[in-house]
Structure formats: C-alpha cells, structure tokens
Structure 1
Amino acid sequence: MTMITELLPALLEGLKTTLFLFSIILIVTIPLGFLVAIVRVYAPKGISLIVQFYIYIMRGTPLLLQLMVAFFGLPHIGITLDRFPAAVIAFALNYTAYYAEIFRGGILAVPKGQFEALQVLGIGKIRGYRRIIIPQVTRIVLPSVGNEVISLVKDTSLVYILGLGELLRAGQIASNTYASLIPFVAVGIIYLLITGLVTLGLTTIEKRIHF
C-alpha cells in the first residue's frame, strides 16, 4: 500500500501525458480520416492513387517505426521536431489512414439510390451529405471506429521510445526503482479503466443514434 501511494503521483503525471496525446489524436484524425476517404472515393484517379499509396505506407509499416522516423529520421533531412510534436505527427498520419479506410467502407456501404435521390430532389451535395449521407455513414462505421479508438488508448504507450513521460514509461521507471512488478500491474489496471470508460462512452453513443 505504501508503494502504491508513492507511485501514484508519477503514474498520474504519466497518465496526463497519455490522455493529452490520446485526445489530440482523436480530435484530429477522425475529421481528417473522413476527408481523406472523400478524396479516395471521389477524386480523379491520379489523386486517388496518391492517397492509396499514402494509406498503404501507413498501414503497411509499424507505428513504432513511424515514430522513430518522425523523431530520429527527419533531422537527417533538416526537419527537427520535439518529442511530443513528433509523436502527434506520427500518430496523426497513421490513424488518419486507418480511419480513412473505415470511412471509405461506410461511404460505399450507403445505397447508391440515396445519392441519386439527392439529385432528383435537387438537394445540394453539401447539404445532402450533412443531413442524409453522413448520419448513415456514422451509424455504419461506429463499431469499427470504436475499435480503433480503443487501440489508440493502448498505442499511446509506444511513445516511450521517444522518451516521453507517458503512463507506461512512468511504470517502467517505478518498476526499476522498486525492483517490483507492482507498478506494471497498476499501469495495466489504469489502462483497463480508461478503455472501460471509452467503451462505455462509445456504447452510449451507439445506442443514442437512431436512424
């Protein structure tokens, strides 16, 4: 009990970094993912191929490698980033690619008759998408997006490679200090609590969407 009391401030400090990174990535990547999906589906073939290549690279290489390239690799071409911005950029590029494919699947799952109806009724594309298409896409992709959000909670632990003081790194330092596995157990419990809250929130949102 004494050890947990001593560990708590360091773990909470690491938790703040984890939650801050999680929040930024979530806010940035979901809208970007939708925009990339729109380009992927509707842009001319040349642009669509470029987007496909970007998605292939992001999904085909490990996120850990992307983090290392963002922080350790970019300085070799004259671009130097601090640890946190490097982590944000790597995560944003990676998760935007995943969300783009999820949203693309949602867009393609909407019956073509819906798009034809917008034209017949004379509803503008922007208004039609906002009022009719996007709500349907949201309902279709919500479970898949939820899975990625939960994965994001756990993937934030990868920034330890950059030396950021997130939750897992705080637990690792404490474990080395006390020569005990208890800090890792505490970290695991905290991650379970976070993912539990996220899952509860996603379930609540899913139940409230009725159309």
Structure 2
Amino acid sequence: MQTATAFARKHFAGIAALIVVAMLAASFVLPVQAHALEVERWTAKSNTSGETKIMGETPTRVTWQGQSAENESLTEVSVDLPAGSSIEAENVKTTVMSGLDRLEIASQTAIEGAKVTVSFPEPTPAGSLVMIEFNRTLLPAAGGTFGMTGSYTTVDGQVHDLATTDQTFDVVGTSPTEQLSVWLGQQDWVKAWNSNKFLHLFFDPTIIVTSIPTVFAGWLISIGLVILSFPLAIPLGLVWAFLRMAKSRILRAIGATYINIVRGTPLFLQLYIVFFGLPLMGITMDNFLLAAIVLVVNSSAYLAEIFRAGIQSISKGQFEAARSLGMNSIQTMFFVIIPQTVKRVIPTMTSEFILMYKDTSLMAAVGVMELMMYAKTITAATGNVTPYIVAAGYYLIVTIPLTKLINTMELRMAGGRRKRKKQAHPAPEAELVPGSDAAVARNIRMSETFAGPASQVDYDECAYSPANRNSNSNSNSNHMSH
C-alpha cells in the first residue's frame, strides 16, 4: 500500500497529464452528436443576364444542403436567410436523399421574417442528405456578404445549432430603377406584353426602366462632345471659307483641297485614321479629346461651304456702300457682311449641329463611351434590342425640337418677305398713266432702290415740289383733253 502511495506521489505529474489528455479527447468525441449535421452547400444563383453577379431585390435561388450523421434522424431544419430577405412558402422546395435515391418524404414550411423552418412529420432516415431550395428569393437591396446561420432538431427532441461554415455569397446592391424593373416583371400586363416576340425584343418595359439611367450617362457625353466641338468648328470654318474665296490662287487651292478632302471622305474613315494612326506615331491622347478633334475638323469643312454661300449671297451693293462710308475690306467683312451672313445661315448651321450630334454615334466604333456605346453594352448583356430604342429616344429629344426651330425660323423669314410684298400694292403696268401720281410714285420707288436712302429726300422733294405738282396737273389736263 505504501509502495503504491509512494508511486502515485512520485508520478503525480504524469498521471495528471494523462487525465487532462483524456478529458480533452472526450471533449472532442462527445459533442459529435451536437454538431453532426454538416453543411455542404450554401450558395445563391446569379440573376443577371450574361454575368455572375447576384443582384439584391431581384428573384434568385438560394440553396442550402446538409448531410446528417449515420445515427442521426432529423425532424426540423431552420435556416436564417440574410436579414431583409423575403420569400413565399410555396417557393421553398425540400429534397431528401439516401445515397443516390430520392426519398418521398413530406415536409411543411413556415416563414417568420427571414427565418425559414422546414419540418418533417416523418423523421428523415439517419445519414440522409437534406437539400432546401429557396426559389424566387429577394435578397436585401443594399447588398453585402452573407454567411449562414440556423438550427436543426433531432428525432429525440434535441435542438442544435448548425455547424459554422466559411461558405458565403456576395449580393450587389440594386438601384430604385432596378427594383422597379423587378416589380414590372412580376406584373401580369408586362408578362402579356412580353409574350409578343416583337414587343419583347424592341420595347421590353423591364429593360426600358433600367436602360434609361444607364444610357443617360452616355447621352451627357454625346452632348458634351457637340457642345465642345461645334463652337470650335465655327471660327475654323470661317477661316477655310476666307481661304476658299481668297484672291491668291495658292490660298484658294489650300482651302479647296482641305474642304474637298474632308467632305469627300466619310467621317468613319477619318475616325479610324486619327484613333489608330496617331498611336502608331507615338501620339497618345484621351479618347474624348480625339473624338472632339475629329468632329471639329469634319464639321469645319461643311461650315466653310455654308459661310461661303452665305457671304456670296450678300449683294455687291453692300460692299460698295460700306466702302463709300470709308470702311476697309476687313471692317466691311466683320461689321457689314458677316452679321448679315450669320442671320441667313442660322437655319443651315442648326442643321449641321443636328448632323454633328447624330454623328457622335460613330464614336462607339472606336471605344468612346458615348450614347451608342452604353446602349450597345446593355444590348450585349441582355440580348435585347430595347436599349437601342432608348438611345433613339435620347437622340430625338434633341433633334425634334431643333428641327421644329429650323422650320419656324424659315417660316418667319419667308413670312417676312411675303408681308413686305403684300404691303406694296403696285398697279399693273397697263393701268399706270404717264405723268400720273401712281407713275411718279413708281419712279420714286425705283429710284430709291438704285440710289439708296441717301437720295430719298431729293426724290421726295422733286416729287412733291410745286413745279412738279403743276407739271403733273398739266400732264393730267392734257391727258384728259386727249
């Protein structure tokens, strides 16, 4: 006895260590029953066309799958979906498998907030696999990264927490327009509308509401291109117009060569030359700036011809009148001719502005993120032509009002000319009697036309002087006697 006691005292530390090791081993072995259900799957399916993203507030499928232990039978499984999720009980599908065999086991679903509980009136066989699919689940609109929590109940009535897992899925936040698109997709009238293939491909309401804000960003870029390029093309166009009308043959040849080459080649080719030719020369610039340069060069050639036609439409009498007032050539051009020219060419310049605005669509071919490029990107992702229709609407927002403005200006200019013609009621040549007041008035108007305002007073004085009145009276008397 003493020997045993002495042995125990001598080896107390080793015995204590053995006891601790045994307790630790028991702590790992005994709780197996509490965490025997192993989570094998916790995933969400992508709900965006052509992409792998999971959008919030957009119907998707969340899948949970767990494998029970060989001696464990389940009566209930509860899974906590991400806070803010919503799902209908009818969209929850439960599958129980034993090995490769699908078992016909009834289940009941109860939903409380984001917590989904599936109960089995008949316990699942021990060692079976349980899979729960949460179809048409609306995950939180704010997005985030979500793991899994929940619990399960065994056949003996014990409730255990589901084993922790590192499996998570990421949800992308959705904008109000995307949420509106989802809501529209659930409406019966939208489903009926999209049942028609033509309407679905070209006028899908769910794609329209999501395309409008996205394409809007490209529309602003297109507007910015035109606002930057058109004012720069106007003075450059004037320069080429003056060169085209210069007295020097060399200057005229330079202006004519530039205008004919630019107007004679398509804008698409000019884009390719600039966007792919300059980098080969080692010149790198921002795509937006390159696009603006091409638009300025192209439009200035057309504006040059517009200005040249407007300048040449001014009568030579204006030049001579300005010279008679002591103006030189430059003063005559900038203070007399150009103001009149601008007034005449405003409708044509507005048409050129519209053409430049529409030509910005060609920038999509060289990678500029403008209106058409945004529409093209959405179309490639959705396989639907609706974004192009939305882009057409943005073009019409600008072109239709400007077209109406052009028509209004042309009508006013034409109406003004008609009004002046109606105010003067010239008598037919056959009714004018030589020496009559009407004949004298006609002669005065003709004289004013050729002589200008400076001679009007002289003609008025001559027409209404006593001598002329007596002469007119005598002429009338002689005419009456005959």
Q: TM-score, with normalisation over the residues of structure 2?
A: 0.41
Following superposition, the deviation at residue 132 of structure 1 comes to 2.1
Give unmatched runs, 5+ long, in structure 2: 1-204, 418-482
2:343 pairs with 1:142: no
1:79 match: 283
- Match for 2:288: what amino acid? F
Identify which of structures 1 and 2 has the higher relative contact order when contacts are C-alpha pairs closer than 8 Å and 6+ apart.
1
Distance 1:76 1:165 in 2: 22
Moved more, 18-27 or 78-87: 78-87
CA contact (8 A) 2:347 2:409 kept: no
**Within-5 A mapping of 1:41-56:** 41-42=245-246, 44-56=248-260
**How far apart, in 1, do the equivalents of 2:221 and 2:409 lie?**
26
Q: Structure 1 counterpart of 2:272, which letter?
A: M
Which of 321, 324, 339 aligns to 1:117? It is 321
Answering whether residue 399 of structure 2 is matched by residue 190 of structure 1, we say no
**2-structure distance, mates of 1:5, 1:110:** 52
2:368 matched residue in structure 1? 164
The DSSP-based 3-state class of the residue aligned with 2:348 is helix
Alpha carbons 1:21, 1:156 under 8 Å: kept = yes
Aligned mates of 1:131, 1:200 — CA distance in 2? 30
1:175 aligns with 2:346: no
Cα deviation code 1:108-149 (max 9, x no counterpart): 111112111111111244443333211221233223222211
Aligned-residue offset at 1:203: 5.1
2:245 alignment partner, SS class: helix
Structure 2 match to 1:155: 359
Which residue pairs with 2:272 in the alignment? 68
Question: C-alpha displacement at 1:57, in angstroms?
Answer: 1.1
Q: Does the 8 Å CA contact 2:323/2:332 hold for their aligned counterparts? A: no
Q: Distance in 2 between matches of 1:2 and 1:36?
A: 50
CA distance in 1, matches of 2:251, 2:280: 28
CA RMSD of aligned residues (A): 2.2
Percent identical residues: 37
Tell me: CA distance 1:28–1:43, structure 2 relative to 1, closer, same or farther (3 Å).
farther
Secondary structure of 2:393's counterpart equals helix
Aligned length: 211
Task: Name the structure with the higher helix share.
Answer: 1
CA distance in 2, matches of 1:201, 1:24: 21
- From the superposition, tell whether residues 162 and 121 of structure 1 become closer, same or farther in structure 2 (CA, over 3 Å): same
SS at match of 2:384: coil
Query: What code does the residue aligned with 2:326 have?
Result: G
Give structure 1 stretches of 5+ with no counterpart. Answer: none
Q: Which moved more, 1:36-45 or 1:164-173?
A: 36-45
The separation in 1 between residues aligned to 2:395 and 2:251, in whole angstroms, is 39
Partner residue of 1:132? 336
- Residues 7-48 of structure 1 deviation map (CA, whole Å, 9 limit, x = unaligned): 122111100110000111111112221222122212522122
**d(CA) in 2 for partners of 1:75, 1:190:** 32
Distance 1:203 1:80 in 2: 42
In structure 1, the residue matched to 2:240 is 36
